[in-house]
Structure 1
Amino acid sequence: MPKLRNKKSALTRGVSKKQSSGELTPTSPSKKSMARTSSLNSTELSQRASMHRTHAGDRLENDAEEGGVEMNLLRDGEQRQAARETDEWGESHQPGESKGPMSSKDKRAMVLLCILYLIQGVPLGLALGSVPFLLKDHLSYSQLATFALSSYPYSLKLLWSPIVDSVYFVNLGRRKSWIVPMQLIVGTVMLYISFNVQRLMDDAASHVGELTFVFTSLVLISATQDIAVDGWALTLLSQDNLSYASTCQTIGLNTGYFASFTVFLAFNSVEFTQSWGVPHLTLSSYLKFWGVVCYAVTFGLLFLKKEDKEAHSEADMSITGVYKQIWAICKLKHIQSLIVMHFFAKLGFAASDAATSLKMIEKGFKREELAVAVLIDFPFQIAGGWLAAKWSRGDRPLRPWVYAFLPRLAFCLLGTLVVYWFPTTPISKTFFVFLIVQTVLSSFSSTVQFVGISAFHTRVSDPLIGGTYMTLLNTFTNLGGTWPKYFVLKGVDMFSVASCKIVKSGLEVATKVTECVSDEGKAMCQDIGGQCVVETDGYYIVSFVCMAFGVVFLFAYIIPTARKLQELPLSVWRIKLE
């Protein structure tokens, strides 16, 4: 039986002493969180890119005080000093930059990382993408709100990431100790769902709790696997090719996600398969296939890939130490302002992200058409990310993030109007092209915002504890887009007014059914031969409340706070390592 060992956390690993000069330099890159969002799926997934910077001036900045930072504009001298620090930071050497041809070892490592991220992306695409659309015909918005809780674990990985990074079996390996069991559990859960999916989907309203539990478990286990794979990426690749870690995650995670969302929705549609003459793909068959793939990849990893032992520096910290550093970061005054901004910044888009696509499906927009729209949007997201990265350079990385707020709010308004004036089906090709253009532009503004805020996080994170710092900031960014979803979907039903109408011989007959919003009310109305008539749709109320809040919060808090935060010198973002 291998001995269970509690090692120091690699989240803060990466500080070693230079024997030649006695200087402290970071030796392990941290992980940069990214997210891909679409106006049609509103899903955010995290990805990390390596960040590894060395600069003598940065080491001296750790003596800055943690609290008492005034949120006022800096004097001209301080602004010039901040600009110098920014320029020096931007020109510093990054070991992740490739200096020569990639070795065969790094190529094999990249293939392995892509496969591991693919395994992670498949269940996420199901839980956060396609399954909510499949359940739309069977559940109310309040019940969908309950199912939406399954996405929360992916935004809360910070709570247990120090444990995953520190506790492992020595004989098996630091990362394989978590990756192997997590992938076996993912495969087992997917097989369990595949054998029970017919029972769950046929009477989804009676099994909301079980559906939410199994898919929450799936996301929780995938998030844990993600922590371990992210850590392994830092040692699988050589120093000169560390920057390719984020490339592997982009390829693997997005491929798995879109396979489970876009491709599966298309092949699950009877109309699509009949039109193209391809076999119809059921959710049960899809889950069985990927469950077997999970087992095959995991056993191959277990017996064919040996994990190299990682060297530990004197600066490694215990689990308790990492949590203390997280708390120390949260006590910084400007970090608290940033957290407040993150927590409410996406509320203006919450109704559009959570409910607009579901309403379009309700109006008659086909799932396969939705899948095609998202598929077309994907390459534009990549292009938008590249452009936004260029715009985010310099000493104003938050500028594109702020500038994209109003266009994104405008596209949310446009999406609400599209739902209101949605034409009778089948929709024309012209209207479908319009929807694609609207989706692409909305997604572009979202991508610009994401890259801008990611660039800012990269700039201000202390390189000595970059992993912890970046994970903390990205946790609040992702959580800001996750927590409103439950309340938005609940609010749609809460503010909706619908009654049961029965018409006989041209006369409207009064019924005992007082409401037709809940599942019970709809069932009672159907039992007596009535039809639910929506008098007030809560979607429009929730949508306009969210957008109004977004506009007010943008001008009252986000713009002034963002301006002050990016004008602060880098020294105030540093904390003292105990």
Structure 2
Amino acid sequence: MGTRRRGRGEDHQSLSSEPLLPPDKRDSPEEEARSDTSNIALLFLLYLLQGIPLGLTAAVPMILLNRGASYKQQAEFSFVYWPFSLKLLWAPIVDSCFAARFGRRKTWLIPTQYLLGLFMLILSTCVDSLLGEGTPNVPLLTVIFFCLNFLAATQDIAVDGWALTMLKRSNVGHASTCNSVGQTAGYFLGYVLFMALESADFCNTYLRSVPEPEGIFTLAGFLYFWGIVFLVTTTLVGFFKSEKKRDDEEEHDLGVGESYQLLWTILKLPSIKTIICVLLTCRVGFAACDAVTGLKLVERGVPKEKLALIAVPLVPLQIILPLVISKYTAGPRPMDVYVKAIPYRLFMGLVAALMVWVTPYFTSDGSPPFIYYVGVVLVYAVHQVSVYSMFVAVMAFFAQVSDPAVGGTYMTLLNTVANLGGNWPSTLALWGVDSLTWRTCEGGTLNGDSCVGNELKKLCTDAGGVCNTEVDGYYVESFFCVILGLLWLTCWGKRTIRRVQGLGDQAWQVIPKKTAQS
């Protein structure tokens, strides 16, 4: 349950202030915005393309579940999300190594997007066999989608850097809007739209007059379409969009070695070591809810395309929530909101487990009724309030403590650690579901035998029995995670967060400021 989001920081140096011009020489804000319309549109398109592989990555676990993949295999596939949590490892190389004649950002953007397009075209020819019914090739799928997300993360680094120099100084604020709106739109196309168009039931109900056995798009066809879009778009950008240095731009370049040395200097700060421990452990209590709930709902009979469409009514909420919550995190103690939100988010983990438990009562006669979906949307909406409260609060805290002298690198480091702190518990939660589940075969020649795992389940079925679940590992994990989260909060987390928040600016500075006496 919950939307998988990645924390983001800027992988570049801050720009110098814009020189003041006489009033009669300055363009009006409207004229400034109009002059950058084409650049804003291009940035939106690049971020939209970045969201496509992320959306497709989110759709694959739902397909794997229907093809008989176990939760351990789902855990294996979850490693594909890790590149965005590890991109700091190669971001200094992307920022520092480039061909000046071709362009600082285009050096990486053009090859990366061509590779993304080619990967999608090649994958479209074999994805059906990789997703074979009952025997999906999860290791190879993991490698391929890991590479896709690695390329998308590299594209993200390049586009983030280009955004600050492509737009005029007065329009740089539009870059974050292009990022959030464009990537959300791409994720929507790659996940929600694909899941709807791939579903035969959805297409036959809403889009066709004559029913057909398949949806409008298959995964292979969708990959092929976007592979062509990537190749065409990249070619147009490569030929027709030049990378020019802005008049007021003064880039301060660091070499690869200097960039990694800077990261090491930041990591040695005692305050950073403490906040890293907090960020890497704070989301353990939410792991079962965030990673497993959606898959369990599909397993219990909720159509995967309708579960994906639940995200649509939540979009306005996801836009409004950060604006509302930011009013409470703008002060000197933003992490107070973070701490207060944790118990509510833990409680929503129990509510999510209850929602999964009652689902079979609504799906016994087929697709759940409308009132069930209303309930699911309400649960998701309340859950999102706690999720965004923590997200906005921690982003405000990062902005508050980051040393302005190295702000971009500092923010990227903190965002990377925060992202990693959400990924490893999710992977572990998926891995543990099967181990904590107990199923027995009832009837047939294997009556009373264990049927945990796809192979034993098939043997039970072939022997004329029915594999019944006696203990579902998801419920065990949900309860255990909530208890662990409460212990973390009361015994260590709350006091540590408040102590770290109370540290002075000096504790976060990479290079201490000189005192007045010196």
Question: TM-score when scaled to structure 2?
Answer: 0.90
Q: Which residue of 1 aligns with 2:59?
A: 130
- 2:140 matched to 1:179? no
- 2:493 matched to 1:552? no
- Alpha-carbon contact 2:105-2:161 (below 8 Å) kept: yes
Aligned residues: 490
Kindly provide the amino acid, as one letter, of the partner of residue 174 in structure 2.
Y
- Alpha-carbon contact 2:87-2:154 (below 8 Å) kept: yes
Q: Deviations over 1:161-187 (max 9, x none)?
A: 000111112221110010101101111
Q: How far apart are 1:189 and its partner, in Å?
A: 0.8
2 CA distance for matches of 1:236 and 1:163?
21
Among 78, 83, 93, the alignment partner of 1:163 is: 93
- Alpha-carbon contact 1:126-1:261 (below 8 Å) kept: yes
Among 461, 466, 475, the alignment partner of 1:526 is: 461
Q: Deviations over 1:131-164 (max 9, x none)?
A: 1111112200011111111111111000000001
Which sits farther off after the overlay, 513-522 or 451-460?
513-522
Q: Deviations over 1:451-509 (max 9, x none)?
A: 11001101111111111100000011100110112211111001111122225xxxxx5
- 2:138 matched to 1:197? no
Q: Which residue of 2 aligns with 1:214?
A: 144
Among 366, 369, 385, the alignment partner of 1:444 is: 385
Kindly provide the amino acid, as one letter, of the partner of residue 562 in structure 1.
I
Q: How far apart are 1:206 and its partner, in Å?
A: 4.6
Q: How far apart are 1:104 and its partner, in Å?
A: 3.4
Tell me the SS of whatever aligns to 1:205. Answer: coil
Tell me the SS of whatever aligns to 1:498. Answer: strand
Map 1:324-403 to 2 at 5 A. 324-403=261-340
Q: Deviations over 1:344-401 (max 9, x none)?
A: 1111111001101111111111112212211111211111111111111111111221
Q: How far apart are 1:536 and its partner, in Å?
A: 1.1
- Alpha-carbon contact 2:15-2:249 (below 8 Å) kept: no
Tell me the SS of whatever aligns to 1:533. Answer: strand
Map 1:119-518 to 2 at 5 A. 119-127=49-57, 129-137=58-66, 138-203=68-133, 205-278=135-208, 280-309=216-245, 316-422=253-359, 423-425=361-363, 426-503=367-444, 509-511=445-447, 514-518=449-453
Map 1:42-57 to 2 at 5 A. 42-48=3-9
Which sits farther off after the overlay, 248-257 or 560-569?
560-569
Q: Which residue of 1 aligns with 2:211?
A: none
From the superposition, tell whether residues 313 and 276 of structure 1 become closer, same or farther in structure 2 (CA, over 3 Å): closer
Q: Deviations over 1:238-283 (max 9, x none)?
A: 2222111110001110000011111111121111111112462211
- Alpha-carbon contact 2:121-2:224 (below 8 Å) kept: yes
Which sits farther off after the overlay, 214-223 or 493-502?
493-502
Tell me the SS of whatever aligns to 2:468. Answer: strand
Kindly provide the amino acid, as one letter, of the partner of residue 496 in structure 2.
T
Q: Which residue of 1 aligns with 2:505?
A: 570
1 CA distance for matches of 2:424 and 2:35?
41
- Alpha-carbon contact 1:110-1:245 (below 8 Å) kept: yes
Q: How far apart are 1:305 and its partner, in Å?
A: 0.3
Q: Deviations over 1:529-555 (max 9, x none)?
A: 322111111111111111111111112
- Alpha-carbon contact 2:13-2:251 (below 8 Å) kept: no
- Alpha-carbon contact 2:53-2:152 (below 8 Å) kept: yes
Q: Which residue of 1 aligns with 2:24?
A: none
Tell me the SS of whatever aligns to 1:421. Answer: helix
Q: Deviations over 1:7-52 (max 9, x none)?
A: xxxxxxxxxxxxxxxxxxxxxxxxxxxxxxxx34x41234457996
- 2:49 matched to 1:114? no
Q: How far apart are 1:314 and its partner, in Å?
A: 8.7
Q: Deviations over 1:506-529 (max 9, x none)?
A: xxx545x84322222122223223
- Alpha-carbon contact 1:500-1:515 (below 8 Å) kept: yes
Q: Deviations over 1:283-326 (max 9, x none)?
A: 11111111110011100000000011479969532111111111
Tell me the SS of whatever aligns to 2:135. Answer: helix
- 2:500 matched to 1:539? no
Q: How far apart are 1:571 and its partner, in Å?
A: 2.4
Tell me the SS of whatever aligns to 2:440. Answer: strand
Tell me the SS of whatever aligns to 1:404. Answer: helix
- Alpha-carbon contact 2:33-2:171 (below 8 Å) kept: no
2 CA distance for matches of 1:345 and 1:54?
36
Tell me the SS of whatever aligns to 2:443. Answer: strand
Kindly provide the amino acid, as one letter, of the partner of residue 529 in structure 1.
G
Instruction: Show structure 2 runs of 5+ residues with no match.
Output: 18-26, 209-214, 514-518
Q: How far apart are 1:204 and its partner, in Å?
A: 6.2
2 CA distance for matches of 1:569 and 1:226?
33
1 CA distance for matches of 2:110 and 2:450?
50
2 CA distance for matches of 1:204 and 1:53?
54
Kindly provide the amino acid, as one letter, of the partner of residue 283 in structure 1.
L
2 CA distance for matches of 1:312 and 1:371?
43
1 CA distance for matches of 2:55 and 2:134?
19
Tell me the SS of whatever aligns to 1:489. Answer: helix
2 CA distance for matches of 1:404 and 1:143?
32
Q: How far apart are 1:431 and its partner, in Å?
A: 2.1
Question: TM-score when scaled to structure 1?
Answer: 0.81
Which sits farther off after the overlay, 261-270 or 525-534?
525-534
Kindly provide the amino acid, as one letter, of the partner of residue 398 in structure 2.
H
Q: How far apart are 1:201 and its partner, in Å?
A: 1.5
| Fraction of identical pairs, as percent | 37
Kindly provide the amino acid, as one letter, of the partner of residue 429 in structure 2.
V
Which sits farther off after the overlay, 546-555 or 526-535?
526-535
From the superposition, tell whether residues 478 and 99 of structure 1 become closer, same or farther in structure 2 (CA, over 3 Å): farther
2 CA distance for matches of 1:47 and 1:125?
17
2 CA distance for matches of 1:184 and 1:370?
32
The RMSD of aligned alpha carbons is: 2.2
1 CA distance for matches of 2:78 and 2:176?
27
- Alpha-carbon contact 1:173-1:309 (below 8 Å) kept: no
